[in-house]
Amino acid sequence: MPPVPLDPTTLHPMPDQPRVVLLKPLVTSPLIEVGEFSYYDDPDDPTAFETRNVLYHYGPEKLVIGRFCALGEGTRFVMNGANHRMDGPSTFPFPVMGGSWTDHFDLITGLPGRGDTVVGNDVWFGYRSLVMPGVRIGHGAIVASGSVVVDDVPDFAIVGGNPAKVIRYRYAPEDIARLLDVAWWDWPVEHITRHVKTIMSGTIDELEAAAPGRG
């Protein structure tokens, strides 16, 4: 009997662990896109991810998260709606407070931003990571616990600190190129299921040999 893959529409993939949710079947906002099998772990209420973990999301910038990402408890994304004007004497957002101050709403519309926040595939976020607006995080990256990510993160880099800096790369440049080329996260889920051991613990040579059409 062939191995049976996990159903990507399952909200709680571990029935005895309600703290873990798959994000794709959870999110409803058109401004959030999540790939299959990416999950969030929180002992409090992981189903509140859209409101508790994606902050100041007033649009139009999107949060895009790839497949097979692991988001530890307290991982948060600050979106561009958190921006305030900084080109005048005060940064206080008077118009959003109401009253006659709303007459000056044009002062807070169209604030400059960095665009969408984009997370690649197979990214691991440690406990209470914080990602600032418009950051792009590469495939296979690891964000250490407590990090504040303010700049783009390269593919297969390990970053940590506040602000987060590259600690090291998981592979040499030539091997990163091979991993990006094989892109196991884009394989059909049935094929991934047959080769989980190689994906988790194999060599790059073994991974390439297992690719669809070869393995």
Give the residue from 156, 152, 76 showing the smallest Cα distance to 121: 156
Give the residue from 125, 171, 169, 168 showing the smallest Cα distance to 148: 125
d(CA 64, CA 5): 24
Q: Which residues contact 30 (CB under 8 A, 6 or more apart)?
A: none
The DSSP code for 100 is: G
Token couple for 1: 């009997």
Report whether the peptide linkage leading into residue 3 is cis, meaning its omega lies within 30 degrees of zero: no
8 Å CB contact between 93 and 86? no
Q: Which of 12, 84, 104, 195 is catalytic?
A: 84
Q: Is 191 a catalytic residue?
A: no
8 Å CB contact between 147 and 94? no
Q: Active-site residue numbers?
A: 84
